[in-house]
């Protein structure tokens, strides 16, 4: 029987696939038949998952909340980057050595006497003349002067007056020198009572102990003990200039007077 010519309708393949099934085993044909079309692509979700899993940083630091940036310690004022091991270690060293360990007071030394006791602390008084201080307290006194000079911008070379006294507040809990006040007589004696005006030359409170009534307790002790058997009123205290902004706010709040008394230390 003679076959006629058949015409194929539709789009003709430019590269027809020709397979000689005589040369291909049945197993290979079955595998080939079960294969998925070559133009199939993985889903977008899989591509996205694979691309992000190979990156270490999954967000950009453009200043948004929670991004890594320099942080200022509220207690010691040191700037450091949280999460950075070297910065964390340096901050810890500065924080502990500068504001805790180095200002430890020998509170258990029986040779040191205290002029006033509070529930959470003790007040020590001494003249800046090293010969009037015990050997154990001289180092701490010098350290407190250095710290106050650095933070307040004061010059310790002018503290040559032998009449200047230092009041130090010591924490019972941590045995730290929490703060200190330098006091000196100002003006001249007048009247028959020989009244001497009291000058607050410098106030310095360690950062961890600020806003805890340390400065107030020191000034209250000064009012009662600067002159024996005499109690100064809060408005009778003179504050040495120049005062910092925080110092002005404290003096105004303590005296409850906007025009508190000031003087210029020599």
CATH number at residue 126: 3.40.630.30
Say if residue 249 is in the same domain as residue 221: yes
Query: Distance between CA 214 and CA 235 in Å, rounded?
Result: 19
Say if residue 90 is in the same domain as residue 126: no
Say if residue 221 is in the same domain as residue 131: yes
- φ/ψ of 217, rounded to 5, equals -65, -35
Say if residue 178 is in the same domain as residue 93: no
The two three-digit tokens of residue 199, written as one number: 């000058």
Say if residue 86 is in the same domain as residue 168: no
Say if residue 150 is in the same domain as residue 74: no
Whether 38 maps to a domain, the answer reads no
Strands 177-190 and 165-171: antiparallel
Whether 3 maps to a domain, the answer reads no
Whether 119 maps to a domain, the answer reads yes
Query: Distance between CA 134 and CA 212 in Å, rounded?
Result: 28
Whether 57 maps to a domain, the answer reads no
Among all chains, which residue has been given the structure tokens 């005062």? 243
pLDDT value at residue 27: 59
In three-state secondary structure terms, 198 is: strand
Say if residue 192 is in the same domain as residue 73: no
Beta-bridge mates of residue 105: none
Q: Where are the alpha helices (DSSP H) in the chain?
A: 26-34, 44-52, 85-99, 135-152, 214-225, 245-255
Say if residue 124 is in the same domain as residue 85: no
Beta-bridge mates of residue 197: 186
**Nearest CA-CA partner of 121 in 167, 168, 166, 172:** 172
Whether 61 maps to a domain, the answer reads no
pTM: 0.63
Q: Which residues contact 3 (CB under 8 A, 6 or more apart)?
A: none
Say if residue 83 is in the same domain as residue 158: no
Say if residue 81 is in the same domain as residue 192: no
Among 99, 116, 149, the domain boundary falls at 99
pLDDT value at residue 259: 92
Among 59, 80, 99, the domain boundary falls at 99
**How many structural domains does the chain have?**
2
Whether 11 maps to a domain, the answer reads no
**How far, in Å, are 23, 70, 265 from residue 89 at the CA level?**
74, 14, 41
Whether 56 maps to a domain, the answer reads no
Preceding amide of 242 cis, omega within 30: yes
221 close to 165: Cβ distance less than 8 angstroms: no
Whether 53 maps to a domain, the answer reads no
Q: Which residues contact 253 (CB under 8 A, 6 or more apart)?
A: none
106 close to 128: Cβ distance less than 8 angstroms: no
Among 99, 115, 143, the domain boundary falls at 99
Q: Where are the alpha helices (DSSP H) in 153-227?
A: 214-225
Say if residue 144 is in the same domain as residue 83: no
What is the residue-level pLDDT of the chain in tens, covering all 266 positions? 555 554 544 555 555 555 555 555 555 555 555 555 555 544 544 444 444 433 333 334 444 444 457 888 776 777 888 888 888 888 877 776 666 666 888 888 888 889 999 999 999 998 887 545 555 677 788 888 888 887 787 776 667 678 899 999 999 988 889 999 999 998 765 444 567 899 999 999 988 888 999 999 999 999 999 998 899 999 999 999 989 899 999 999 999 998 999 999 87
Which residue range is the domain that position 195 belongs to?
A: 105-263
pLDDT value at residue 209: 87
Say if residue 115 is in the same domain as residue 88: no
Query: Distance between CA 137 and CA 180 in Å, rounded?
Result: 13
């Amino acid at each position: 029987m003679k076959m006629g010519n058949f015409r194929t309708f539709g789009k003709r393949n430019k590269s027809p696939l020709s397979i000689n099934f005589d040369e291909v085993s049945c197993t290979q044909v079955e595998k080939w038949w079960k294969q998925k079309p070559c133009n199939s692509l993985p889903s977008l979700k899989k591509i996205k998952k694979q691309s992000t899993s190979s990156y270490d940083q999954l967000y950009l630091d453009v200043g948004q909340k929670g991004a890594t940036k320099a942080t200022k310690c509220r207690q010691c004022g040191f700037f450091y980057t949280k999460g950075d091991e070297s910065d964390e270690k340096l901050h810890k060293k500065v924080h502990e050595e500068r504001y805790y360990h180095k200002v430890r007071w020998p509170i258990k030394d029986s040779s040191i006497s205290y002029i006033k006791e509070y529930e959470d602390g003790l007040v020590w008084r001494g003249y800046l003349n090293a010969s009037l201080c015990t050997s154990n307290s001289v180092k701490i006194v010098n350290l407190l002067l250095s710290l106050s000079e650095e933070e307040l911008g004061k010059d310790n070379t002018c503290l040559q007056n032998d009449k200047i006294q230092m009041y130090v507040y010591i924490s019972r809990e941590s045995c730290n020198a929490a703060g200190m006040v330098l006091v000196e007589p100002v003006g001249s004696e007048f009247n028959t009572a020989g009244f001497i005006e009291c000058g607050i030359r410098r106030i310095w409170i360690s950062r961890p102990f600020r806003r805890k009534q340390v400065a107030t307790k020191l000034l209250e002790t000064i009012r009662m003990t600067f002159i024996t058997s005499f109690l100064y009123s809060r408005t009778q205290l003179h504050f040495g200039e120049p005062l910092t902004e925080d110092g002005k706010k404290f003096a105004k709040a303590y005296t409850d007077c906007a025009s508190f008394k000031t003087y210029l230390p020599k």
